[in-house]
Amino acid sequence: MTNVHDLNPFNFVLCGTSVGRKPLSSTGWSAFSGFAGVLRCRLTTLTHIFIPSSKPPEVINQHKSLGRFNEVGGVWLIPGSSLRGPIRAIAEAASNSCFSVFDGEYANHINRAAPIVRNLAPELQPCPQQDRFCSACRLFGMTGQGQHSSVGWRGRVRFGDARYIKGNGEDDKKTLHELSSPKLAHTIYYGGHSPAPGDPVSHRKFYYHHRPNEILTQKPGPRNVTIIPIKPGAVFEFDLWCDGLDDEDKALLIYALELEADQDEHCTMAHKIGHGKPVGLGSVMITVTEAYQVDIQSRYSQWSVPAADSKQALKRLSDQELSNFRDSKSMYKKRSDQWLKDLRAILKWPPLSDTIGYPQWKPGAGHGEYRHPLPKPGQEYNR
């Protein structure tokens, strides 16, 4: 075991030097082909988790209390947007797709340090035009905003909200360790593994998992918050609507949802969602438990249209069909690209035995001079 706070909470997944882009395949309603329907997914919390509500925080002596977990109608709820973002990030990293939310330059000051300006490597810029899409943009869509594209695409998936259904509930109040925005001047970290300040961004940031019930806390102050999180062992459920997925889409979507869990649901990698990821919150496992398919050709070759909730509208996949559907992720499980190796190392579950936290400053050190440089993903296991 390494020293306390010896391992940084995050690390970076290497990007490939080229992004594969191609036109949209002819699937969907108009082509009467591909998988269209609903995937029912179960989300199980592996550590504490917290999603803030829309209520304004309570402030006492400049300290904010975010209160209880987000709820609607008395039911704890994870908004679909809180699922879509992290799952898309996995899909982008696994398929070496573009940076969908990085547009232009990113500059940062820290105290008196000179500004650090980081550009995105040209090949990783958001997809520029309608007829050339990376794997993630074909599946999740693109906004059509920004300097690289004026064309939007809605994508082939839509996430519903995850509703709490059973398991452990709320814990006591927790006052979290201070959280802050990224500091690009710390080039020993934010340079990825090539820390020259002028180098283009070519790595994706992900957070390590903490051991269950290990949350970094401190006394209340003006720069941290108090929350009431949900305990490990809570179970949520959500639906995901699909429109005309081809085989490549299915493989990427199931991998991004389930990562590398096997059919027995043995978890070897996990997601991070919600608030407080650097301090021990947010680790979850996602499993596709049911799938319902629309027979597009049959539905649009008759005059009468069945109700959306009728048996005619949706056919439930058998256990074997669902198993085959879930096994489509093996396309990614079998690959050995460096970005997938990095992703496996950072998102590994069960997590490292180390106590994870932000490193301590060296006595008398200047900005960016930490105790240890950032290890490459996978090398932290050999320290």
> Average pLDDT in the 343-366 region?
73
**Are 209 and 47 contacting, i.e. CB atoms less than 8 angstroms apart?**
yes
In a domain, residue 2? The reply is no
In a domain, residue 5? The reply is no
As given in the structure block, the two tokens for residue 23 are: 């036109």
Name the percent of the chain lying above pLDDT 70. Answer: 73
pLDDT digits (tens, 9 = 90+) for 271-283: 999 999 999 999 9
In a domain, residue 165? The reply is yes
pLDDT digits (tens, 9 = 90+) for 332-343: 999 999 999 999
Judged against a pLDDT cut of 90, whether residue 284 lies above it is answered with yes
Distance separating alpha carbons of residues 205 and 11, to the nearest angstrom: 6
How many domains does the chain fold into?
Answer: 1
Among the ranges given (81-90, 125-134, 168-177), the one the predictor scored with the smallest mean pLDDT? 125-134
In a domain, residue 84? The reply is yes
Q: Which residue has the tokens 């036109």?
A: 23
**Bigger pLDDT: 190 vs 86:** 86
On average, the pLDDT of the chain sits at: 82
In a domain, residue 77? The reply is yes
In 3D space, the residue among 136, 165, 166, 130 whose CA is nearest the CA of residue 148 turns out to be 130
Name the residue range of residue 80's domain. 10-382
Provide the pairing of β-strand 116-118 with 106-108.
Answer: antiparallel
2 pLDDT band (50/70/90 cuts)?
Answer: very low
DSSP helix/strand/coil, 278: helix
In a domain, residue 364? The reply is yes
Judged against a pLDDT cut of 70, whether residue 298 lies above it is answered with no
110 pLDDT band (50/70/90 cuts)?
Answer: very low
The 10 Å Cβ neighbour count of residue 359 is: 18
In a domain, residue 206? The reply is yes
Distance separating alpha carbons of residues 318 and 292, to the nearest angstrom: 9
129 pLDDT band (50/70/90 cuts)?
Answer: low
**Are 345 and 14 contacting, i.e. CB atoms less than 8 angstroms apart?**
no
Alpha helices in the chain (DSSP H): 80-94, 135-140, 187-190, 247-258, 296-299, 319-326, 330-333, 338-346
| pLDDT score at 213 | 83
In a domain, residue 129? The reply is yes
